[in-house]
């Protein structure tokens, strides 16, 4: 039987009067919350002031952006020869992303098992591998590109090494987390039949984590296609070098053409990756009628 709101309010008041200490406001908690909000608001305002944020500059910048977009219309490579050059550079960018991602996945795959809690040799090895991965992951791809350019020189080889090095740290972390999240029941079943440690990993862990790992690698291949464009600007090969050159020479129609080429390529890779991930992970089957 439903109770009226008036009776519910009366019960609440009676409950508060009987247990006043429980319902009493915690001034310490409230003070800490107010202080935290005040500090965050102060940091927000200080950041705007320190970084010379200006609404006037923002409005004028948006207007200038509109002018640049107008100058980019229509997209035009300039000539057929330049289009062929851009197409070759775009293929080089995709190749850099593919090779860098693949090499990083191959190197990070065994490291992921070493860094995972349920498959590692001991805690010291796990701790050391985790810290190494953190150090590698803490350096951005662009910084790795600048470092590798000074080691192996300009060109796509430096780009491949930069993508590979940056992704080893990320893949190692993601792979180890996927391995740690694997269900223990298949492993326990293998242990109950007398399976060795290697059998537990091979037949209990690998079948669970391989689809997840494959999906992560495919996603990073798509992401690294965009990253390869950025590192090309600093001389690591690919279409980024041409994009930077066209911006420097104010060839805005060529810039928009290059941007459209990159967007189409990323969209195609994304569509293919979705299909591959669905095929690897397996689509849910319909229930039998």
pLDDT tens per residue, range 177-229:
888 877 777 766 776 776 666 767 776 777 777 888 888 888 888 888 888 88
Instruction: Point out the least confidently predicted range of 25-29, 31-35, 214-218.
Output: 25-29
Among residues 191, 185, 173, 98, the alpha carbon closest in space to that of 129 is found at 173
Higher pLDDT, 200 or 80: 80
Q: Please report which confidence band the pLDDT of residue 284 belongs to, taking 50, 70 and 90 as the band edges.
A: very low
pLDDT computed for residue 103 by the predictor: 93
Rg of the chain's alpha carbons, rounded to an integer? Answer: 28
CATH assignment, 80-281: 1.10.3720.10
Nearest-angstrom CA–CA distance, 67 and 69: 5
> b or e along 240-263 (b: 16 or more beta carbons within 10 Å of the residue's beta carbon)?
bbbbbebeeeebbbbbbbbeebbe
Instruction: Point out the least confidently predicted range of 50-54, 173-177, 249-253.
Output: 50-54
pLDDT tens per residue, range 257-266:
888 988 888 8
Among residues 226, 101, 225, the alpha carbon closest in space to that of 163 is found at 101
What number of residues does the chain have?
289
Model confidence at 104: pLDDT above 70: yes
CA distances from 48 to 40, 41, 44, 52, 167 (A): 12, 11, 6, 6, 33
Q: Are 215 and 221 in contact (CB under 8 A)?
A: no
Cβ-based neighbours of 282, under 8 Å, separated by 6 or more: 211
> b or e along 160-199 (b: 16 or more beta carbons within 10 Å of the residue's beta carbon)?
bbbbbbbbbbbbbbbbbebbbebeeeebeebeeeebeeee
Higher pLDDT, 211 or 289: 211
Percentage of residues in the chain with pLDDT exceeding 70?
83
Report the range out of 50-59, 85-94, 109-118, 186-195 with the highest average pLDDT.
85-94
Model confidence at 75: pLDDT above 90: no
Among residues 147, 153, 145, the alpha carbon closest in space to that of 230 is found at 145
pLDDT computed for residue 47 by the predictor: 81
Model confidence at 1: pLDDT above 90: no
Nearest-angstrom CA–CA distance, 165 and 137: 9
- Nearest 5°: the CA angle 121, 127, 133 is 110
Neighbouring C-beta atoms of residue 270, cutoff 10 Å: 15
pLDDT tens per residue, range 119-143:
777 788 888 888 888 888 888 888 8
pLDDT computed for residue 288 by the predictor: 37
pLDDT tens per residue, range 146-168:
889 888 888 888 889 999 998 99
Phi-psi map region of 153: left, alpha, beta (phi>0 left; psi -120 to 50 alpha): left
pLDDT computed for residue 282 by the predictor: 62
Among residues 66, 85, 78, the alpha carbon closest in space to that of 251 is found at 78
Neighbouring C-beta atoms of residue 128, cutoff 10 Å: 12
Q: Please report which confidence band the pLDDT of residue 285 belongs to, taking 50, 70 and 90 as the band edges.
A: very low
Cβ-based neighbours of 221, under 8 Å, separated by 6 or more: 97, 98, 101, 269, 273
Residue matched to tokens 């910048």: 61
Q: Which H or E element spans position 36? A: helix 27-50
Nearest-angstrom CA–CA distance, 175 and 27: 45
Give me the torsion for CA of 165, 168, 171, 175, rounded to 10°: 170
């Amino acid at each position: 039987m439903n109770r009226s709101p008036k009776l519910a309010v009366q019960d609440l008041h009676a409950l508060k009067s009987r247990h006043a200490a429980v319902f009493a406001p915690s001034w310490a908690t409230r003070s800490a919350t107010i202080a935290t909000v005040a500090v965050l608001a102060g940091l927000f305002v200080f950041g705007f002031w320190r970084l010379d944020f200006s609404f006037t500059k923002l409005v004028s910048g948006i207007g200038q952006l509109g002018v640049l977009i107008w100058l980019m219309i229509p997209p035009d490579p300039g000539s057929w020869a330049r289009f062929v050059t851009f197409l070759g550079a775009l293929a080089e960018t995709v190749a850099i992303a593919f090779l860098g991602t693949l090499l990083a996945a191959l190197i990070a795959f065994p490291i992921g098992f070493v860094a995972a809690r349920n498959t590692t040799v001991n805690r010291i090895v796990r701790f050391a591998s985790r810290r190494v991965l953190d150090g590698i992951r803490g350096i951005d791809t662009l910084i790795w590109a600048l470092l590798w350019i000074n080691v192996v020189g300009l060109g796509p080889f430096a780009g491949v090494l930069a993508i590979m090095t940056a992704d080893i740290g990320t893949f190692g972390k993601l792979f180890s987390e996927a391995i740690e999240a694997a269900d223990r029941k298949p492993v326990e079943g293998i242990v109950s039949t007398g399976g060795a440690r290697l059998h537990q990993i091979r037949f209990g862990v690998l079948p669970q984590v391989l689809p997840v790992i494959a999906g992560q690698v495919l996603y990073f291949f798509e992401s690294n296609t965009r990253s390869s464009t950025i590192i090309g600007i600093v001389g690591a090969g690919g279409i980024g070098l041409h994009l930077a050159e066209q911006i420097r020479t104010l060839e805005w129609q060529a810039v928009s053409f290059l941007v459209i080429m990159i967007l189409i390529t990323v969209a195609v890779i994304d569509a293919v990756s979705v299909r591959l991930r669905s095929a690897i992970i397996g689509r849910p089957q319909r229930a039998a009628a």
